[in-house]
Amino acid sequence: MLSTPQKSWYHSNRFSAASACEHCAGVIRHEPWCVTENAAVYEAYEAVIDPEKLSLPDQLILHALGVTWNARCNGRCNTP
């Protein structure tokens, strides 16, 4: 009787989902659009975190488009 050898699975990946970036979910490297890598994206992200950083014209334009800010983070949001 021939027996089939068992397959051995080896996991040598030192990266895990826990080490992924909270913004782009990059494990090995950040995505080009990640807030930690792209200055333009970071500037937009700051506006989401703190709308006071927007200029008055930008606030008016976004208000006209129907954007509203709710105090969701209460100052406890993670920033890069």
Query: Do residues 73 and 49 lie in contact, with contact meaning Cβ atoms separated by under 8 Å?
Result: yes
pLDDT digits (tens, 9 = 90+) for 10-26: 555 566 666 788 888 88
What's the pLDDT tens digit per position in 33-48? 898 888 888 888 888 7
Q: Does pTM surpass 0.75?
A: no
Residue 22 in tokens: 């909270």
Cβ atoms of 41 and 33 within 8 Å: the answer is yes
Buried b (16+ CB within 10 A) or exposed e, 5-32: eeeeeeeeeeeeeeeebebbebeeebee
Residue type, 26: G
What whole-number distance in Å separates Cα of residue 80 and Cα of residue 53? 16
